[in-house]
Amino acid sequence: MVIGIQRDQLRMNDKFKNLHKKHTKGLYPDKFLDLIFTHSDIVRQIALKIADNLSQNKIVVNMDLVESGSMFHDIGVYLCFDDEFNPDASLSKYLCHGHEGYKLLKEEGYDEQVARFALTHTGTGITKEDIKRENMPFEPRDFIPVTLEEEIVCYADKFHTKWPSFNTFEEAKARLERFDPSKGIIMDRFKMKFGSPNLSDLQQEYREWHKNMETFFNSLPKAK
């Protein structure tokens, strides 16, 4: 078993950064890249904390798959902002970023096992009822995490936002419940299965980065 601290000391595989670089865009491509890539890396570190705890309890987790899934789960977000870094006005458009990311990963040659992380990480997974309610432009069926690794990445993602900030479990659960109370039940199930990761080290490490990103966002011209 390779524990999280040891894994974090390994050199980040260039394939992750290169794919993000390829798809960033707009008037602030470096900042866009920094936001999405760093958020993904934070999710990777949270997911590996969860996976390492499971491994210590003799539960087999594919660590490489967790790492790839974490780094690629939000690749579709690059398609959801305009050139001036304004999010698309339509909530349903943003909720499609997982579906768009799935298509992008498949086009880039990644297999179903990796591409599904983009498809299944939003909220606690997108259901056909969610698709109908938000009028999303694709087939109404369930896109929910099924494998252990998909569940880990989906859950880890709830502890950090792209605004960006860290969330407690309670904050993440409450945010999801505003869309659908049943999402809170699923969060409770995730917590029973995975616990609540200790984020104190990451909060310290990324404190200045969060401040810098907030300053950048505040400097942007407001959308008309």
Q: pLDDT digits over 20-53, tens only?
A: 999 999 999 999 999 999 999 999 999 999 999 9
Encode pLDDT of 92-129 as tens digits: 678 889 999 999 999 999 999 999 999 999 999 999 99
Residue 3: inside a domain = no
The residue range of the domain holding 136 is: 14-219
Residue 121: inside a domain = yes
Residue 202 and residue 42: Cα distance in Å, rounded?
8
pLDDT at position 136: 84
Encode pLDDT of 143-169 as tens digits: 999 999 999 999 999 999 998 999 999
Torsion from C-alpha of 40, 189, 61, 68, nearest 10 degrees: -20
Structurally, the chain folds into a number of domains equal to: 1
On whether the CB atoms of residues 106 and 122 are closer than 8 A, the answer is no
CATH, residue 55 = 1.10.3210
Residue 8: inside a domain = no
Can you point out the beta strands (E) in the chain? 160-161, 165-166
Residue 69: inside a domain = yes
pTM: 0.92
Residue 7: inside a domain = no
Phi, psi of 165 (to 5 degrees): -165, 160
pLDDT at position 92: 62
Residue 5: inside a domain = no
On whether the CB atoms of residues 98 and 76 are closer than 8 A, the answer is yes
- Beta-bridge partner residues of 161: 165
Question: Which residue's structure tokens are 């394939």?
Answer: 15
Residue 2: inside a domain = no
Residue 215: inside a domain = yes
